[in-house]
Structure 1
Amino acid sequence: MMDTRSQCYRCGQRFSVPPNTATIMCPSCKFETKTQSFERLKSQDGGQISFRSFIETARTKLSRSGTGSSKSNKSLNCKPSTLLFSESLSGLRPCRKRALLIGVTYKNSKQKLKGTIIDVKGFRGLLMDTFTFPEEDIRVLTEEEPEPDFVPTKKNIQNSFKWLVEDCMAGDSLVFYFSGHGVRQFDFDSDESDGFDESICPVDFVEAGTITDDEIKSAIVRPLKKGVTLNAIVDACHSGTVLDLPYVYNRKAKKWEISKRLSEDEKHTDRGLAISIAACEDRQVAADTSSCIGKSSINGGAMTSVLIQIVKKNPTITYGKLLDSIHEDIEKANKEGCLPGILKRMLNNFLSQKPQLSASKEFNVNSRFLILQ
């Protein structure tokens, strides 16, 4: 039998399809879809499918679930598109939306967190339902993932950073989300005004070490090409400048301030825009909903929970309005609070989290929420 022609449901690309092929991946946009020729073949044959096609379909379903066992955790990663989408066949393609979402529970340690996977699932839903991010372009790292490559180890996070930014082009919208532990450690490079590096903790941080702000910046900020936008949302303690971006927005003065001396590298104007929304300032810790938002039944990060609720109600909210709304909701929760009054007054500057907005370049905070691009 000769090959037939089919068309991608997503980008419209036409391509050849081998006989009796149930699904095929578009060579242009990497979208996996049922072939039109196969649908016609089914109708002609009265719904009878060849044994070979049946095996191919079953194999695809098993690979998506990561295992044939119904007892295993269902993966939040859509395969094989998520893994193979990085293959660039052409320099010409539509603008792309791509996201890396990481939630770490540290479930086998004393530092265990309850709600980070809830955070990731909620943020993934926000991207897909509100901002039309394709499921296959969202990579999720959690300890619940059945495949070892999607567990949030230091090595896997570093590899996923490369996946997030590789082959980025003008018009692309990238998202980095992290929910987990954040720490401060002494700055030995003398490039921090406060003398500390901010870091995120992978699940194996005790053995492999943390990932510092310098590393994160090098991995996902410096590679951004002009016209690319990266939005980072980090719900962790000490996360204010965890992307090491030079400009911090002063909410009260309503202006940008330079948080550090600009390096020669940061003076380049031919790069994309990186924007970070952090759960708190560098010296502060971040709360979860169980400790801060009344009698919440959802044990997620306070900043993530509030942000999702706000953006769902108003998807075109500006950065300035979003930051103000998050502050207002968290301050209200802090007043209802979980700490005894005298202790709260003594430690307020360190424990009362104030979400922080930073960027690689100054921009108008009254512009639209740029995940929409």
Structure 2
Amino acid sequence: MMMLVNCSGCRTPLQLPPGARSIRCAVCHAVTHVADPRSMPLPPSTSFSAATPPPPSPYGAPWGPPPSPHGKKKAVICGISYRHSRHELKGCINDAKCMRYLLINRFHFPESSIIMLTEEETDPYKIPTKHNLRMALYWLVQGCQPGDSLVFHYSGHGSQQRNYNGDEVDGFDETLCPLDFETQGMIVDDEINAAIVRPLLRGVKLHAFIDACHSGTVLDLPFLCRMKRSGEYGWEDHRPRSGVWKGTNGGEAISFSGCDDDQTSADTSALSRITSTGAMTFCFIQAIERGQGATYGSILNSMRSTIRNTGDAMGGGPVTTLLTMLLTGGSAGGGLSQEPQLTACEPFDVYTKPFSL
């Protein structure tokens, strides 16, 4: 059985193989030595009833002091182009670079607090493989304290697979596709939720921006904002009937995603007119730059309006030459028909809650 140890360098939780006496961290590269692996505690259980409060987090006390105005800002940005494969995308690394620029220059994230995972990175531990992406997500939440602001941005392929444990309303798990997904497998929404949602303490906030197909509920957050074209909205309850807890440990988690669970997301040059981008990432950054980022509702409406107007202008025909290959067979006809989604750990008024990172 795998056991957890904290990295001696950055305190990232690491899975120690049975019988191993040391392990190298993929994030900081430190080697952690263990005297006797059999003495290590078992990993904490992550399944419990939503009817009762979650047990104490292994990452810290759930109800700490009020948030500090001087918390850390940390981000993981992942852009995957799947170069030289039949799944190749054109705009995902552009998305990653643009998001990094936005976080540093608009939201004042320190450059040193951003981990970039793309195929262009020279550090082998920052290539967007399944293992490296998992380690980066552990790093993102490790040691989080009240006042911290965390960001996870992903631009790449997403997919779905049949759910068998009853915790999905539609019967499917949503997934992210790391660079080596064809050999190592996809990362399922249950794992993403366990890695970066449930550890969040009171006063810690996480924003995720997922530009991928089938990404509506890929963080498995309990509530989805169902918004009409008129701007009217209501929160759908996506808490699983199985009773498995999908919320945080007192913190706040909010996700913008490129499309609904049954939709595909475009990788296209139709929006920028210059280079390929993910439609969702482009529209989010544009909303911020145009001064439409005051509230979550204004951002979501701006993103949807831009995509809808682009699709209407195309008339459904020229987009065929603009979309690159979509992993799960999304249609290239009909314009940009995707609808960005907003999910959260708790419902809130999207038109009064200020957006801030």
Q: State if a TM-score over 0.5 links the two structures.
A: yes
Aligned CA distance change for structure 1 residues 110 and 347 (closer, same or farther; 3 Å): closer
The answer on 1:310 being equivalent to 2:287 is yes
Matches of 2:205 and 2:244, distance apart in 1: 18
The answer on 1:254 being equivalent to 2:230 is no
Q: Considering fraction of residues, name the structure with more helix.
A: 1
Q: Where does residue 52 of structure 2 map in the other structure?
A: none
1:108: how far off?
Answer: 2.5
Instruction: Pick the aligned partner of 1:299 from 262, 276, 287.
Output: 276
Matches of 2:132 and 2:168, distance apart in 1: 27
Q: Where does residue 327 of structure 2 map in the other structure?
A: none
Matches of 1:279 and 1:348, distance apart in 2: 18
The answer on 1:174 being equivalent to 2:153 is no
The answer on 1:288 being equivalent to 2:263 is no
The answer on 1:210 being equivalent to 2:186 is yes
> Normalising by structure 1, what TM-score?
0.70
1:249: how far off?
Answer: 0.6
Aligned CA distance change for structure 1 residues 336 and 164 (closer, same or farther; 3 Å): same
Matches of 2:106 and 2:142, distance apart in 1: 25
The one-letter code of the counterpart of 1:234 is: I
Secondary structure in structure 1 of the residue aligned to 2:152: strand
Q: 1:215-260: per-residue Cα shift (whole Å, max 9, x none)?
A: 1001100111111100000000100000011100121242212023
Q: Where does residue 367 of structure 1 map in the other structure?
A: 353
Aligned CA distance change for structure 1 residues 316 and 128 (closer, same or farther; 3 Å): same
Is residue 319–residue 367 contact of structure 1 (8 Å, CA) maintained in 2?
yes
Which of 100-109 and 360-369 deviates more?
Answer: 360-369
The answer on 1:158 being equivalent to 2:144 is no
Is residue 292–residue 299 contact of structure 2 (8 Å, CA) maintained in 1?
no
Instruction: Pick the aligned partner of 2:252 from 273, 279, 287.
Output: 273
Q: 1:166-196: per-residue Cα shift (whole Å, max 9, x none)?
A: 0001111000000000001111222111111
Instruction: Pick the aligned partner of 1:355 from 334, 340, 344.
Output: 340
Aligned CA distance change for structure 1 residues 270 and 150 (closer, same or farther; 3 Å): closer
Instruction: Pick the aligned partner of 2:116 from 137, 140, 152.
Output: 140
Q: Where does residue 238 of structure 1 map in the other structure?
A: 214
Aligned CA distance change for structure 1 residues 262 and 100 (closer, same or farther; 3 Å): farther
Aligned CA distance change for structure 1 residues 353 and 220 (closer, same or farther; 3 Å): same
Q: 1:14-73: per-residue Cα shift (whole Å, max 9, x none)?
A: xxxxxxxxxxxxxxxxxxxxxxxxxxxxxxxxxxxxxxxxxxxxxxxxxxxxxxxxxxxx
- Which segments of 5 or more consecutive residues in structure 2 lack a partner in the other structure? 1-26, 30-63, 321-330
Q: 1:67-90: per-residue Cα shift (whole Å, max 9, x none)?
A: xxxxxxxxxxxxxxx849xxxxxx
1:364: how far off?
Answer: 2.6
The answer on 1:333 being equivalent to 2:290 is no
Matches of 1:117 and 1:104, distance apart in 2: 6
Is residue 287–residue 293 contact of structure 2 (8 Å, CA) maintained in 1?
no
In the TM superposition, 1:39-58 aligns within 5 A as none
Aligned CA distance change for structure 1 residues 212 and 351 (closer, same or farther; 3 Å): farther
1:309: how far off?
Answer: 1.5
Aligned CA distance change for structure 1 residues 308 and 347 (closer, same or farther; 3 Å): closer
1:261: how far off?
Answer: 3.2
In the TM superposition, 1:5-44 aligns within 5 A as none
Secondary structure in structure 2 of the residue aligned to 1:243: coil
How many residue pairs match? The answer is: 281
Matches of 2:295 and 2:281, distance apart in 1: 17
Aligned CA distance change for structure 1 residues 234 and 369 (closer, same or farther; 3 Å): same
Matches of 2:149 and 2:124, distance apart in 1: 27
The one-letter code of the counterpart of 1:367 is: K
Secondary structure in structure 1 of the residue aligned to 2:277: coil
RMSD: 2.8
The answer on 1:229 being equivalent to 2:205 is yes
Secondary structure in structure 1 of the residue aligned to 2:217: coil
Percent sequence identity over matched residues? Answer: 44
Aligned CA distance change for structure 1 residues 207 and 225 (closer, same or farther; 3 Å): same
- Which segments of 5 or more consecutive residues in structure 1 lack a partner in the other structure? 1-81, 85-90
The one-letter code of the counterpart of 1:339 is: G
> Normalising by structure 2, what TM-score?
0.73
Is residue 238–residue 284 contact of structure 1 (8 Å, CA) maintained in 2?
yes
Secondary structure in structure 2 of the residue aligned to 1:370: coil
1:337: how far off?
Answer: 2.4
